[in-house]
Amino acid sequence: MNKTDEIKPPLPEQQQPVPGSTEEMTPRPDHGEESYKGSGRLKDKKAVITGGDSGIGRAVAIAFAREGADVLISYLPEEEEDAQETARWVEKAGRKAVLVPGDIQDADHCRAIIDKAVKEFGRVDILVNNAAYQMTFKDLAEIEDEEWDRTFRTNIHAMFYLTKAAVPHMKDGGAIINTTSVNADMPNETLLPYATTKGAIQNFTGGLAQMLADKGIRANCVAPGPVWTPLIPSTMPPEKVKEFGKSYPIGRPAQPAELAPVYVMLATDEASYVSGATVAVTGGKPFI
């Protein structure tokens, strides 16, 4: 059985506390640990990846390292075990891994992430704003003010803080890649706060691409459909986890490894005319 067959629904019903752990997932996600083959497309680039401990972030970190980049991984302190595992794969590829725990809801911490990258690497070539928070709700009355605020502070406010801090340390050819979602254009009503921020990310990215064009810095976003990451069993009820991704044309969620090549492409110098774009990775579902 290959790694995509393993995640065809029905999946085992499971639930974890937020933010979730890769180790506790059944089946374990595939981040390209044994499959991604690099070819030097990001040789000596310096990258910052938020949410780089697990899921899409880990897959991107592994791919970037195998393409020749050094990687700073930002993550929550409670995700230390996952972050250490990601760092191990980056270092196994012969590249430098820098770990920075903390909560990106805090503007000062966002600035500290970039300061650390500049101290360790001397510059920032690639910024991947990937970390996200979501919870599911059946009714508007269930969404507390604090919940709405946390979702925005994690998903969109942090993106602004990090980008603003990074741009002065980016040269012509720099790349900013933001993770949005299929929910940006086709919002799921049970993910109202999350979906709203994902729409904001797409708009932010389009405006940012225009604002930074004269600096030679590109900004794009990736819009995944369902992806098998710790976010799913930690934020969705078990019965939803069981059927996760089933309604998409391919009939399953994506493995994180299936997203990484898109981030690599957007980070390379080969994509020098790609800016302001949203690249959909949605398993056959049209992104309207």
| Three-class DSSP category at 120 | helix
pLDDT the model gives residue 2: 66
| Three-class DSSP category at 126 | strand
DSSP 100: E
Q: At a CB cut-off of 8 Å and minimum separation 6, what does 199 contact?
A: 180, 183, 184, 185, 187
Question: Do residues 87 and 99 touch, judged by C-beta distance below 8 A?
Answer: yes
List the domains of the chain with CATH numbers.
Answer: 5-281 (3.40.50.720)
List of the chain residues with pLDDT < 50: 1
pLDDT the model gives residue 235: 87
Distance CA 174, CA 177 (A): 10
Asked if 133 is an active-site residue, the reply is no
Question: Do residues 54 and 230 touch, judged by C-beta distance below 8 A?
Answer: yes
Written as six digits, the tokens of 130 are 């990937």
Of 36, 75, 194, 263, the active-site residue reads 194
Distance CA 97, CA 48 (A): 10
